[in-house]
Amino acid sequence: MSDKFIDLYDCYIHSAEPRRVFLEKLVKAAGGVAAAAAILPWLEGTGAEAAMVSPGDKRIRAGDEKFPGATGEMTAYVARPASAKGRLPTVVVIHENRGLTPHIRDIARRVALEGFLAVAPDMISPVGGTPKDRDKARDMLYDINKNEIIMNLVATAEFAASHGRSNGKVGCVGFCWGGQRANLLAVNHPSLKAAVAYYGRQPKKGIDKINAALLLHYAGNDRGVNRGIPRFEKALKAAGKTFTIHKYAGTRHAFNNDGRPARYKKAAAALAWKRTIAHLKKYVR
């Protein structure tokens, strides 16, 4: 039954389905309003989950910064080790389809603690920035032209490279919606050194343009995303690209997100994170 509920939620968050329709389906599947109300926080989290690295952690320096995007002013959450003296290799952290959430800010702080300058852009900046309402964030993000998204991601990577704390070497890591954009940034930004995509859909063209070393994390049970793996792998091999693919048995889409109890898998998330940091340290330096 848990898979049934997760499938309902997946359909909802990866489409334009109204929340009202999703809730009606959930009530029907759960057998009543009370049961659905108990299941809902398990599916989507409460938004009050504890961060792995506190925003006030004295080991880092972090805050929002503004920079020019391709279609207007952008905002990014920028974090770095407090003890860093010189310039740092830099990682662009690309959020899920809920925008620049506390979870993604936490990911940026975790990246910073590994010795990087982390730049986590708010890709909803052109239309007002990430709202508190997660459903509204999804809708706002999907209203932005896809080409403009890529242009603003490239502008983010350029901002990251030119940042006063950056050594000019830039990689990226993205999750879900951001995982697909990590792949697309690799296609559209030849200077990118490395890209890590967590359960991201694969690009269908421009693969020959990729210079970044790719690390591709996939859930074991993620049919919609995983059906594109064989074609992508074949194209990467044919183009002679540097890439590694890992699939995590017993996991579902978004297994890294500790704010989503229904799908978070601690062991798989820890292993994927270890591999992610090793990959970034190898190729972004």
Residue 222 is a catalytic residue = yes
Sign of CA dihedral 267, 260, 97, 17: positive
Q: How far is CA 118 from the centre of its chain?
A: 13
Q: Which of 106, 122, 222, 258 is catalytic?
A: 222
Runs of H (alpha helix) within 189-251: 223-226, 229-238
Active site residue 176: yes
Say how far apart CA 11 and CA 28 lie, in whole Å: 15
CA distances from 6 to 158, 187, 220 (A): 37, 31, 15
Query: What pairing do the DSSP bridges indicate for beta strands 73-81 and 166-175?
Result: unpaired
Give residue for tokens 């697909």: 180
Annotated active-site residue in 176, 217, 258, 279: 176
The residue annotated as part of the active site, out of 95, 163, 217, 253, is 253
Residues 64, 105: contact at Cβ < 8 Å?
A: no
Catalytic residues: 176, 222, 253
